[in-house]
Amino acid sequence: MHQEKPRVGISSCLLGEKVRYDGGHKLDHYLHDVLGPFVTWVPVCPEVECGFPVPREAMRLVGSPLNPRLVTSRTGQDHTNRMRAWAEKRTQQLEQEDLCGFIFRAGSPSSGMRGVKVYNDNGVIKQGVGMFAAAFMAHFPSVPVEDDGRLNDAVLRENFIERVFVYQRWQEFLNNDGSLGGLVTFHAEHKLLIMAHSPKTLTFLGQLVATAKQKVKKALFQDYLQHLMEALRCNATVKKNRNVLQHGMGYFKKVLSADEKKELDEVIVNYGKGFIPLIVPITLIQHYVRKYKEPYLQTQRYLYPHPLELMLRNHC
């Protein structure tokens, strides 16, 4: 079955569009060349779409980090209300895009999602959020978001892209099924993936699904998605991955030979010690899943969370 690419919002300058205040861009080659073939980009440039020209006077956040104003750096013109009105309208329009994620430009007074410079009488505080980014995250609290700077970290990059594809599968579930039985299946397929991020949340979600018939479906689905995405924001550490791998190994205890058990155990131990990347034990387990046709593990998204070509587990 053909699967549509996830639609991901992105600050336009990261795709090489010359929309910055100085007429330049911030092309990110990983996003454009590596991740690009596996997603459908939805570019957004708040300042240009809000009506500001290219080039233009640079802007910055001033005042309180909790409620900053957007003003031009040299002449001090206040564009706060203009940007807020546009951001509210644009976020509503983006509801039609079925976004599975958004990548913001780090540090931008309009698009930075964290740590944006805010200027006030006390100096410069790196605690602000860009105005469009703040509006987007408030409007779409469960949609995965990240900025281009943090995506240079291999662990954070894998975490974000994994969440994008989980969110896409959630959207497909709602669009193609949306039943309580479908929720049970969705949860079952993602158990090991959730376990790798938050065993505590896995228990909570299991209880939520088990009592699904006692709840209003719309509220149930919203509750499930909220806790699912919060859990996946927690990084899957080496320790948690090792526990999942050992859990998966248990499904083969009746079929693996002594040598196969020893080999798999050694590979998991070596991963835990940091000698080899996660892709090595994952590949060996995938091999045994195919060889012995283990039914439970055949359905587990943990083994195939995102396109193999991205090689995300080769570095963590």
DSSP 96-126: GGTEEEEEEPTT-TTT--S-EEEEETTEEEE
Query: Going residue by residue through the chain (316 aa), what tens digit of pLDDT does each one get?
Result: 346 899 999 999 999 999 999 999 999 999 999 999 999 999 999 999 999 999 999 999 999 999 999 999 999 999 999 999 999 999 999 999 999 999 999 999 999 999 999 999 989 999 999 999 999 999 999 999 999 999 999 999 999 999 999 999 999 999 999 999 999 999 999 999 999 999 999 999 999 999 999 999 999 999 999 999 999 999 999 999 999 999 999 999 999 999 999 999 999 999 999 999 999 999 999 999 999 999 999 999 999 999 999 999 998 8
Mean of per-residue pLDDT scores for the chain: 97
**189-223 tens-digit pLDDT:** 999 999 999 999 999 999 999 999 999 999 999 99
Quick one: pLDDT at residue 315?
A: 84
User: Long-range contacts made by residues 51-54, C-beta under 8 angstroms, separation at least 24?
Assistant: 51/82, 51/86, 52/79, 54/18, 54/19, 54/20, 54/21, 54/23
pLDDT digits (tens, 9 = 90+) for 279-307: 999 999 999 999 999 999 999 999 999 99
Q: What is the pLDDT of residue 3?
A: 64
